[in-house]
Structures are given as structure tokens and as C-alpha cells.
A and B are shown apart, each in its own frame.
Chain A
Amino acid sequence: MSAASATAAPAPPKVLRVPEHTVEIVSDSGEGAQKCGQIFGAVSAKMGNGVWTVELIPAEIQPPPRVPEGASGNRIRLGEHAVTNWGDRTNLVIAFNEQVLLARHRVDSLADDAVILIEDKWARSEDADIVAQWDAAMKELSGKHYRIIPVAMEDQCLTIVDNPKKGKNMFALGLLARVYGRDMERIKEQIAHAFRKKSEEVYNSNVALLELGYHWAEDNIDFRVEIPTHAADKPLVVMNGNEAIGMGAIASGMELCAMYPITPATSVSHYLSEVFEKFGGIVHQAEDEIAACGVAIGASYAGKVAFTITSGPGMALKTEFLGLAVMTETPLVLVNVQRGGPSTGLPTKVEQSDMLAALYGQTGDSPHIVMAPATIEECFHIMITARRLAETFRTLVMVLTDANLATGVSPYPKPTLDEAWQAAPLDLAPVKEGQKAYAWNKDTGLSDRIIPGRPGGMFTLTGLSHDEGSKVAYSSGIHQHSSAMRSRKIAVLQSLLVPPTVYGEESGDLLVVGWGSTKGAIEEAVDRARKEGLKVSSLHLRFLSPLEPGLKDIFKKFKKVMTVEINYSDEIGDPYINEENRRRGQLSILLRNATLVDVDCWGRVPGEPLRPMSIVDAIRGRVPRGGAK
């Protein structure tokens, strides 16, 4: 570790030209580090850098100040080209105190040679305990080769504002703007947007702090970082996955979002509540999760296109109603933004642990469709397909995203909207004489949906087992037949899916299989492993029920198959764990069942996205040099 004091006479800064760089801004909760990171990420994307941002969110809403557990902020990975994941370690950190910095250090988030710009007022505190904490932290950090640059952020901010806590983030943004050569005018536009509901005075003081930070860095920081930018050949949009879900819902012609607030899904409804009505939609905040699901089912039954959004605990509460949607064959889209579990688990942290609950969590036999977007862009587009499939197959479609996609921000090509994405007008004409509510095609299980109000279309809607005419029927023959019909639809959908594409060579020593938000990290890891000479490829699934076809044939071409997931799995070699009792990763369980292939798994639940280097390590463990046996 080396400490460099700020000097008044700057030499020309050393310019570091790199293809990518990762930045973190960390503070106590409420000090605005997230807003700083969001603006920095958005401006970087608009300037033509690849960007992937991840919010660092404490588990508590208002944790105490100056504790490692309260670290809040943003991590932004910038690249010359598209960035698909948050990467491995951070190259530059701005920390508002040494405790939040320690939090990042302790989870091995910082590169060994990371540059740290840290508020140093704590070292000069009149409180001896704080000084002691500072000294202890510096000692702990000294084990690495960090370059620590003390910055008197609050002292600087006090030259402009009375309360530096409200604005220190803009000073930090100014530092980053100078170091990374960001366009100040674009930053000011973003600030204006971020504070559009505040007074001009607030905007002006934020801009003044931004410029103060910029000039301070100009005078005192002896390096700059240049990451080449490339103008996009298509117009891009920059947003997080939850906004993309909301926009996709609008583009798909959905008309109702019924929800109950739950982290990390709530921001979808925040976004929609601002814009949905302009497009004829309604956001309904129900009294609880169950009611939200009921409202969505009711609206959908009545002919509107409805969806409900939640996270794991909410999906558990909706279970009975989800079964009702399946039994009544009412189209419904449910979005589950996964977080850590079980129970309330890790509300603000990413996990992929709801897959089996989503697939099998309902009582009885409850076949339905489960899909998972792999990128923020796919969060937008999946909603169009989900609505279409829910209506076409008269069933429940679950969309599994996660906290990584929900809060991560990345640019993607601006979608060209198409009227064909929207639902066709309802046919409210009289139903054909003799038409039954569930006139199942005996081969496909498909039947025409009758919208209430159509003359001659009256029938009893029931969650009880029923026959084609929706008459309650307990006879074993009818239940057997109706169960087969509901199940058959899933097989029909599978017959329409195309086999997934292998990333890399179509045969080799190891095939890594993933789903959801891990795609970018897995493919980056596979690229690195292949550069090391390992014969590794990957496959990323978007459909979990039904599974995409041809998996067994694909798996056969590899010596080993392993899933990589953000859910827990036992490790062989741990006490008591053997092949027989090992609890495997959820996708691995699913694939073993479907293909009878001995699919291995590697899963972690660190409460953060997987890092490519961790996956590379796992790959190396499965495929030593010389190849798998």
C-alpha cells in the first residue's frame, strides 16, 4: 500500500489506455453513491462504452453509518466493447469512509493494485474511536498493493454547500468524470433528469459540486484512464432489467400489472405507474400478494391481458392462485425477480433459487411454461413472447429474472416496436353453437378461449376438476383426461421450440450449462478457459418448462456436462456429502431428470453475481489440462 497526498502542482497526468476498467462508488446508505454510479454508467454508455452496472445494496433499508454491512453503492464495469457481466475485480474505488471500503476489500472485490480515492476526514476525527477504526482499517488494507489517495471530500464540498452529505456524491462524480474523460454536458443532462422533480437551486448546487470535483481531480490526480469508445451503429437505450420488463409489458399490449411491493421487483411497478396509463394500462397495488394474483387472473379471464410481478416469498403466497390459473386455463404472466432465500432470505441480493419452486411449487399437477431472460435486452423482449404464449396456450407463463438483471444497467439496441406484438382485438361474437369451455383437441390439449360476455358462452368457472363443459367432475376418467390435456400443451410447445445453440465448439471436454443472468459471466469464463487450451463450451437455456429440445444429443458430444448457477449445491468432499446424498444445483436436477445424463453442478450463493474468474476456476477443476477423462 502506498499513500499519496494531494499535491498542488500537478504534472501532466499519466494516461492509462485500457480495453476495460471497473469502478466502484461505496458509501453509507443514503449518501448517494448509487445515484453517482447510475449517472456515471448511463453517460459512459451514451458515450459509446460497453457498460454493466450492479447496485451494491445493503440488506437493511437504513443500516447504521460507518459499518461494513452498510456498504451501499454501485459497481460499473466499462469496456471498449459490449460488457455482459460485472467482471472480476474493481480497479478504482471511491469510498466515503474506510468501513464501507473494508466491506468491499473483505469480499475480495478489489484488484490487488486498485486505486482508492477515500474521504480522509475520518483520520482527522476528534473521536478517538473513529481514528482508531481508521488506523485499523488502513492496517488491514496494507496487506494489498492498493494505491490509496486521500481526498478531503467534505471539506471541499463545504465551500459550496452547508451539508456536504447531500452532494458529496456529485463531487465524486466530478472526480470520475475527470479521471475517465466523461462528457460534462451529458453528465449535466443526466443530473437534470435525475433531479427533474427538484428545484433549479438543487440542480445548480449539484452541478457546482460536480465541477468542483472535476477541477479538484484535474489539479490533484496524476493519472487518467482512457477506454476507447465506439459509436453504436444502431440507436441504443440504457436501462435496468426491471425497466425493460415494464417497457416490454407495454410493448406487448398488456393492460394490467397487479402487484404488491416486494424487493427487488417493486421498481417495475414504480416505472409502470409513471407511464402505463399513457398507454391504456393500469398498475394495481393490491392489499397483498394473493390479491394481486387474483386481480390479474380476474382481469385476464375477463379478456384483458394481465400480469403480476413478485419475488420468491410473494410467489410462495400466490401459489394457490397460480394453480387456479392453470386449472381454469386462464392466461397469466407472472414475473418473479428472484432474490436470495428461503423465507425472506436476502431481499436485495441475487440468487437463482426459485427455479424448482417455479416449476413444481404448485399443489397437484400444474403444468405451465417457465422462461428466463439472460440479458437486460431479453427482459424487454421476453414479455412479448410470454404474453403471446400465455394466450395461445391458455396457461400460466412464469418469467424468472433476478436481482442482477433487475438492478443492473446496460445499453442495448433500441427495439423497433411492432404492432404485431400486441394482442389482437377480442372476438366478442357469439360462440359457436355447442362450443364448450374446454373443447380440448385430444392431440394437443388446446382449446378456444371464451371471453365472458359472448352470447352463448356462459359457463361455470371453477378450480375444481372439471370436464370439457367446465362441469365439476370427480370421476377418475375425467380427471385423468383433463390432466393429460393440460400437460399435453407443454409438450406441444416443446415441439415448436428450436434446439439451443452451443456457444463455442459443438463437442469437447466440458459443456457448461446455465440459465438466466449468468450468461455473460459464463461465456466470458468459457472464452478465457478456451484461451488456456481447455475444450469447453457453454449452453444457455431460455425455456425451463418445457425444456428446449435436443439437449440429450447436445450433451452426448461432451465428456462432461456441468451447470453453473447462483443457487446452493453440496460439494463432493465436504463432510457427509457423497454422490448419493449430494443436493445438486436446481438446473442440474432438472437436466438429469430430463436427459438421464450425469450432469454435474457448480453453484454459489454469495449474494452477488458470479464472477467469470470463479467460473474459470470451477472449469479448471472439472477439466484439468490434458482434457476430461
Chain B
Amino acid sequence: MSRRLWRGVTRNLVGFYAALALLYLFLPVFVVIVFSFNDNVGRFNFTWQGFTLDSWLNPCGVAGLCQAMIRSIQIAIVSTIVATALGTMVAFALVRHRFRGRAMTNLLIFLPMASPEVVLGSAMLALFLNVGVRTGFLTILLGHIMFNISYVVVTVKARLLGMDSRLEEAAMDLYADEWQTFRRVTLPLVTPGVVAAALLAFALSFDDFIITLFNSGNTTTFPLFVYGAAQRGIPPQINVMGTALFAVAFVVLLVGQVTRRFRRS
């Protein structure tokens, strides 16, 4: 009896706690969404003044905001493509091949992830200053590709390690050549891992602030725009963008889940 009681309590306790934790996670999101409808008069969108749809109807009404947004998307797309390609190749080499220098390779992949961003960003700036490269769009891109490679390698590697290599052996036994095996068996199996890695890379690049700040020169990405706005004055349009980002990401993740479940059944 007492055990059943205890079990009931713990189950509800953990559930209750989880609900509280989720509430905590969503608290800032509610604030961001609510303040996107604020009829703000001052420079800083920090106190509630009244409901308006103005900022939603005019999301680009703040000079430079949408340009910064577009620049962030461009950087995220290019860095995702390059980092996913390079990282996937490294992951294949690590899981599917024997070669010398494996320990060094693993270390080189691990170190950027173990370094704080402020170290990575300042180190890159030190290099660019020494070589005399002017920082800007290109240097931001170079940096984003750099930190994304490690994340792609780790994500794709996990997928490759979870794959049953006997499927590929079976294909080879059935007289498929290496290329056919890769295209017909390996590639379809590894694709979910590559897609997950690409989504992660995109999100990391799009939201990166610290490394970008160090290597941006006069170029403004969306996070840099928000940072500047936090000093000059925050228009509600920033909350509109924040809300939109949240909504887009939520839908993308939800669609991903649903299609995965759909395919399985």
C-alpha cells in the first residue's frame, strides 16, 4: 500500500515538476510574443502600453532590420551547405575507413566544441588582424563554417555508428559495386543524420552572436542588429522577428516528427 502511494506521489511529483520546468522554458517566449503586440512609444520595448498590430503589419519598418535578417539567412545557408559537405566526409572517413592519425582527427574535431566562443572569435580576429584581412561578410562565413564542421561530424557520425553495416555487405554480396551500394543503400540510410546535422548547423549559424561580433567588421547580421538595438532602443519589430523564428522552427520540427512517424507506420 505504502509503496503504491509512494509510486503515485513520485509519478505525479515528477510530472508536476516537468510541467513547471516547461512553463519556465516558455516564460521568455510568452514575453517575446506578447511584447511583439506592444504599442510601444518609448525607445525601449520593456513596459506594456497597449495592444497594436502595427509591428506585425510593418515588420521591416525599422531601418536595417530586414537587411540584417536576409544577410543572416544567406550566411546560414552557405555555411550549412559547406559545413555539412565537409563534416559528412570526415564522419564517413572516421566510421568507415582505417587510416593513420585518427586520434589527431578526433582531437581536432573535439577542440573547437570544447572552446568557449569568445576564444574562437577572438582567435580568428587575431589571425585576420595579423594577416591583414578586412573583416566582414566573408570572415563571418569562414568562422561559421569552422564551428559547424565539428557539430556536423558528431551528428553524422552518430547516425553512421547506429547503422547496420550488414545491409551494405548484403548489397555487395548481391553484386552491387561500391558506387551502387553507396547510392542505393548507404545514402538513403544516412540521409536523416545528414539532414539533422544540416538543420543544427543552420540554427547554430543563424543564431551565432559571439564569433560573429568579433569577425563582422561593418557587416550586420540579425543577432548583431539585436545587440545594437539593445543599446540604442529596441523596436517591437525585433519581437516580431523572434516570434516568427520561433513559429518557423516549431513548424519545421513538428513536420519532421510527423513525417518520421508517418514513414515508420
B is bound to A: no
Q: Which residues of B contact A (CB under 8 A)?
A: none
